[in-house]
Amino acid sequence: MSRTAATADWQQLDRAHHLHPFTDHRELHARGVRVITRADGIYLWDSDGNRILDAMSGLWCVNIGYGRAELAEAARAQMLELPYYNSFFHTTHPPAVELSRLLAEVTPAGLNYFFPTNSGSEANDTVIRLVRHYWAERGRPDKNIIISRHNAYHGSSMGSASLGGMAPMHAQGGMPIPGIVHIQQPYWFAEGGDLAPEEFGLTAARALETAIAEHGEERIAAFIAEPIQGAGGVVIPPATYWPEVNRILGERDILLVADEVICGFGRTGKWFGSDTYALTPDLMPVAKGLSSGYLPIGGVMVADKVVEVVSGGEFFHGFTYSGHPAACAVAKANIEILLREKIVDTVAGETAPYLKKRWSELADHPLVGEARCLGFLGALELVRDKPSRRRFDPPGAAGKLCRDICADNGLVMRTIITDTMVIAPPLIMSAAQIDEMADKVWECLDLTAKALAA
């Protein structure tokens, strides 16, 4: 099949043979799948030649933008030199060593070890096993409950989806697995009621303290959280939330797992969400921006104090492709670009403040109940009534309408089930491109309002 095949041919074959992740196939086929054929910078092109501004960086991952020849060269050179070898049986290879060393350098102090996986889901499955193994090694096998939060996203495998707090996922396939407890999330707009955001932030944090008291500190192994929830709707916690969580964990012997799969590698305007919120995680799952999505790779950064406990005796866990040489070489080249081009500094000092200004203006739109933004993460809450924060009924339809209107007008903006529109643009987006995106978003909100009124 040549690249010039008509869109209808791709669509027909896709329909006949391709099962998509997180997709209602009847809905998909009614509308017709969009075929993406190439990309450059912050733009995608579809098979009909339409240019689309990708305000989602693919799936929150293409941090350095599309079209980086350097990453292709890194993969090619590595594949010719050593396309595959494992690190199970007392062997290693240069890309795994060099990536691990570089990660120890850019991640927060105290995280000096990298356990590679092939995805964020595998990283979080590794977290479950490593956390429980850690406490067992310390002679406390009953300290095995992990506390997570409702509406968290930690992946789609049995373990990671159980850690996550997505009710529709738990409803399919018998999740969560035992030993995982979900508490209140710090989502003020949806759940804050009459409380001021700062008060609500404290309430949400203290749900952790309550859960620990309920189960007993001697049973609680770890607390896992995204610094900012991504797939849950870019839930930026109130300023009081993380300091209070830090206080609660600081008084207790419980591990902190910061899931940095989205927040990592510059997304929040610092290298990691943990830097933004002054967290000192014991384990830090990463993926997505680790390779800017050019090849699949994830992993867990592990604190020295955990490594000391688990490094005697075998940890019976790993994957055939753990630390795949080409993926490691690409991730390393990706981080080198972030460093060399000072991309995180530019986001922090120039483009994120400008995005904040332009994004905040969207709160003036009649459909928008809240426009929030931190670093290169943003969300809009579509509402029927602004003062009461009342959403559309049934929830979800307005967001899908808005998403489809965006797609038809050359913009990828994602919708979350509650009619929350989210963005996570490539970190290389310029001020002029931020203007282009913000203008387009406003235009699409107008079209959405019109369609909703009709």
Ligand X SMILES: *Cc1c(COP(=O)(O)O)cnc(C)c1O
Binding footprint of ligand X on the chain (CB under 6 A): 119-121, 124, 153-155, 226, 230-231, 259, 261-262, 287-288, 298
- Residue number, 263 or 438, with CB nearest to ligand X: 263
Strands of the sheet containing 414-416, edge to edge, are 368-374, 377-382, 420-423, 414-416
> Residue 298 CB, nearest distance to ligand X (Å)?
6
The residue among 304, 321, 388 whose CA lies nearest residue 112 is 304
DSSP code per residue over 39-57: EEBTEEEETT--EEEETTH
Contacts 24+ apart (CB under 8 A), 346-349: 346/427, 347/266, 347/269, 347/375, 347/376, 347/427, 348/269, 348/270, 348/375
Strands 411-412 and 51-54 come out as parallel
- Three-state secondary-structure class, residue 114: strand
- Residue number, 231 or 355, with CB nearest to ligand X: 231
- Residue number, 237 or 369, with CB nearest to ligand X: 237
d(CA 159, CA 181): 13
SS3 content of the chain, % helix, strand, coil (to 5): 45, 15, 40
Kindly report whether the peptide bond that precedes residue 176 is cis, defined as omega within 30 degrees of 0. yes
Q: Which residue minimizes CB distance to ligand X?
A: 120
d(CA 448, CA 67): 32
- Residue number, 232 or 369, with CB nearest to ligand X: 232
> Residue 125 CB, nearest distance to ligand X (Å)?
9
> Residue 121 CB, nearest distance to ligand X (Å)?
3
- Residue number, 100 or 124, with CB nearest to ligand X: 124
- Residue number, 257 or 383, with CB nearest to ligand X: 257
> Residue 218 CB, nearest distance to ligand X (Å)?
28
- Residue number, 10 or 319, with CB nearest to ligand X: 319
Under a CB-based contact definition with an 8 Å cutoff, are residues 276 and 72 in contact? no
Q: String of b and e for 175-213 (b: at least 16 CB within 10 Å)?
A: bbeeebbbbbbbbbbbbbeeeebeebbebbbbbbbebbe
Which residue has tokens 């969560």? Answer: 176
Under a CB-based contact definition with an 8 Å cutoff, are residues 451 and 401 in contact? yes
Q: At what angle do helices 325-340 and 94-106 cross, to 10 degrees?
A: 40
- Residue number, 237 or 298, with CB nearest to ligand X: 298
- Residue number, 157 or 430, with CB nearest to ligand X: 157
> Residue 300 CB, nearest distance to ligand X (Å)?
11
d(CA 383, CA 391): 4
> Residue 422 CB, nearest distance to ligand X (Å)?
11
- Residue number, 52 or 224, with CB nearest to ligand X: 224
- Residue number, 64 or 284, with CB nearest to ligand X: 284
- Three-state secondary-structure class, residue 370: strand
Strands of the sheet containing 43-46, edge to edge, are 36-40, 43-46, 51-54, 411-412
Interacting residues of 33 by C-beta distance below 8 A, sequence separation 6+: 10, 11, 14, 15, 20
- Three-state secondary-structure class, residue 452: helix
Under a CB-based contact definition with an 8 Å cutoff, are residues 223 and 249 in contact? yes
> Residue 311 CB, nearest distance to ligand X (Å)?
25
